[in-house]
């Protein structure tokens, strides 16, 4: 199970960095739920990724630490390619079901202007 959870998280970051928005259909479950955004389904991820890539064309997410326990991964990342000095960090927790990400919780130091 641990390897499946780790692989699902790594696939998600690789697809995001490659701008492979279509991969969301294979990475996230049909009933995927993002707690921070209050959205469901892989299509919500695709929309979010597209907006993020439009706002930050050079963005790359780098995995700094990953801890896996059972069906859950906690991942600390740095976000490169956004304006500012020190790269923002994110902490995301994923629950994986059948090799796909089913739920996500997260915190970010990335500033979002209104």
113 inside domain: no
Asked whether 102 and 96 are in contact (CB, 8 A), the reply is yes
Domain membership of residue 43 as a residue range: 2-108
**pTM confidence score:** 0.92
Which pLDDT value is given to residue 12? 97
Place of tokens 């990475």: 27
What is the domain-level CATH number for residue 62? 3.10.450.50
Measured between alpha carbons, how far is residue 102 from residues 8, 81, 84, 86, 105 in Å? 10, 28, 32, 31, 11
Q: How many domains does the chain have?
A: 1
What parts of the chain have a pLDDT lower than 50?
Answer: 114
Which pLDDT value is given to residue 113? 54
Which pLDDT value is given to residue 75? 98
Asked whether 74 and 55 are in contact (CB, 8 A), the reply is no
Structure tokens at 74: 């906690």
Return d(Cα 74, Cα 3) in angstroms, integer: 14
Which pLDDT value is given to residue 84? 75
114 inside domain: no
26 inside domain: yes
Return d(Cα 66, Cα 71) in angstroms, integer: 13
Which pLDDT value is given to residue 83? 78
Which pLDDT value is given to residue 112? 59
């Amino acid at each position: 199970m641990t390897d499946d959870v780790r692989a699902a998280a790594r696939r998600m970051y690789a697809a995001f960095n490659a701008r492979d928005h279509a991969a969301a259909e294979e990475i996230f479950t049909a009933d995927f739920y993002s707690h921070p955004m209050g959205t469901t389904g892989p299509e919500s991820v695709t929309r979010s990724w597209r907006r993020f890539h439009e706002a930050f064309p050079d963005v790359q997410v780098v995995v700094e630490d990953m801890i896996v326990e059972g069906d859950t991964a906690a991942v600390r990342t740095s976000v490169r390619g956004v304006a500012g000095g020190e790269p923002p960090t994110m902490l995301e927790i994923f629950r994986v079901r059948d090799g796909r990400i089913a739920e996500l919780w997260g915190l970010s130091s990335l500033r979002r202007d209104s």
